[in-house]
Chain A
Amino acid sequence: MSEPPILFEEHLPGGGLWSWVLRRHTTLRLTDLEGGANVGLMAYNADEPLDRLNLPDTLKAQYTAKFTRGHVLMSDMGRALLSITADTCGWHDPLGGHGNAALVRAKYGERNYQQARNDWYRNAHDNFLVELGKHGLGARDLVANVNFFSRLDADEEGRLTFHLGNSKAGDFIDLRAEMNVLVVLNTCQHPLDPKPSYEPKPVKLTLLKTPSPAPDDFCRNFRGENHRCFELTERYFA
C-alpha cells in the first residue's frame, strides 16, 4: 500500500496544545517521537459542535475499554467522528482523563512562565480550555478525553495501574475524520503516569490526504455497530 500524500506536518513539544478542523476524510497521524508520549484528545462535529465525542457511547457500542485499529470514536448523535485506520501501538486509554493545575503542582511542583519561559509546567485541563475557547467553546463543552499512546490496566477490583513502556519511539496512530471534525488535543503527561518528574514527550502531527472509506473499509465493518454508525453519518450528509 502506497503512503498517502502529506498535506502538512507540525512538531508539538511535550506539554503542548493544538486544535484543528480536520476536513472530512483527511487523516491525522499522531507519531510518538521518543516513546512514552501521551496525547489527550477531544473531538466535535465542527459544523454543529453540540454533536460531540461521547466516550461512554463509543465504548459500550464496541464493548471495549481500550482503542486500537478498527475502533471508531463516536458522537452522542450516533455518528462517526474519527476512525482508527492504523495503529502500531495497540492500546490507547479512554479511562484516565486529564490532569489540572492542582495535580501538576502536587506531582511536579511549580514552574511558572516568568521563571522558565516556554519550559513552564502546563496542565491538560487549561490547555483544553484554551483550545476550546479559540472555537467559541468552554468548560461546559469539556468531554471525557482519550489518551493516545497510554495504557491503564484494570484488576478485578477495578483498580488501575499505569502500564509503563506502552508506546515506543516511532509508534503512530491514524485518525480518519468521518465528518469535518474539530480536534482539541494536548501533549501533557497522563494524569496517572507515575514518573515523579515533569517530562511530557513531543509528538509529530501529520495531516494526510486519504480516500473516503470504501464499502469494505476495515473500520466500517469492524462490528455491526460501526456499520450502523457509518450509515447514520452518511445519512447526515445525504
Chain B
Amino acid sequence: MSTLIYTESPLVPADAIHDFTLPAGEGWMHEIKRGQTLRIVDLEGNQAADTLFYNAHDMSDRYSAQDTIRAQGAIYLTTGTKLMSSEGNVLLTITADTCGRHDTLGGACATESNQVRYALDKRWMHACRDTFTLQVLRWGRGASKADITHNINFFMNVPVTPEGGLRFADGVSAGGRYVEMRAEMDVIALISNCPQLNNPCNAYNPTPVRLLIWN
C-alpha cells in the first residue's frame, strides 16, 4: 500500500481576501497574483475539482500535465509538486495538502467522452468541458476551446498499475480536506466543479467546494 503524506497549512480563513463556495456543476475563472495562495476545500468529501491554470500574461503558456509529471518524475500531485506550464515555467507550487494525492491523468468529463464511455444517449448530461468552454468564452480576450487542455483533478485518485492499467479508485479525500498552492507568477485559475453522475469520481453525488485566496 502506498503512503499518503498530509501537510497542514497555517493560514486561517478569517484572513482570506476571497472566500467563495462553488456549487457542483459550476465554473470559476479568477486571476491569482504572484505570491497569493489558493486553497480548494472538498467540503463534503470525494468531490472532483477539475482545474486549469494559465500564465496571466500569455494564456498560450498554460498548465501542462505531462510537463508536471516529467519534472517530478511521478504521476500524483501533492505537497511540493510544482505545477509546470507548457513553456517550462512554474505556475504554482502545492504548499499544503490534507488529501495526500491528486490526479492529473484522468482529464475532464465531456459530453462526447461520456458518449464513448457510457452510452451514445448520454450527450445531454452536464459535463466539465462544457463548464470550461463557457468560462473561457466569457473570459474573452480571444480565449477559446484551444485553451482547454489537460487538467488537474483535485481530490481524485487514479492509480496506474504495474501492468500499465488505469484505475479509478475510491477517493482518498473526505469532507473538509483541502489542497493549497502558492502562485509563483501571476496566473489565471479555471475550475469546473465536476457534475459527473456516471461514475464514482464524485461518489455519484456532486457537492460544493470552497475557494479561498490569501495575500
Q: Interface of A with B (CB < 8 Å)?
A: 50, 54-57, 59-61, 63-66, 74, 76-79, 91, 95-100, 102-103, 138-145, 153-160, 191-192, 225, 228-229, 231-232
Is B12 engaged at the interface, CB distance under 8 Å to the other chain?
no
Query: Cβ of B117: which chain A residues have Cβ within 8 Å of it?
Result: 60-61, 225
- Give, as a whole number of angstroms, the nearest-CB distance from A7 to chain B: 30
Complexed CA–CA distance, A192 and B75 (Å): 13
Q: In B55-108, which residues have CB < 8 Å from any A CB?
A: 59-61, 64-67, 69-70, 73-76, 86-88, 101, 105-108
Residue of B nearest to A155 (CB): B162
What is the bound-complex CA distance between A91 and B162, given in angstroms?
12
Task: Verify A140–B60 contact, CB threshold 8 A.
Answer: yes
In the complex, the 9 A-B pairs of residues with the closest C-beta atoms, listed nearest first: A56-B107, A97-B66, A78-B112, A66-B164, A158-B75, A158-B76, A139-B60, A156-B2, A154-B160
* Cross-chain contact A228 with B115 (CB below 8 angstroms): yes
| Contacts between the two chains (Cβ within 8 Å), count | 141
Among B107, B110, B165, the most chain A Cβ lie within 10 Å of the Cβ of B107
Given contacts A59-B106, A65-B165, A97-B65, 20 further A-B pairs with CB under 8 A are A50-B145, A56-B106, A56-B107, A57-B116, A59-B105, A59-B166, A64-B164, A64-B165, A64-B166, A76-B112, A91-B164, A97-B69, A139-B61, A139-B86, A142-B64, A144-B65, A144-B66, A156-B1, A159-B73, A225-B116
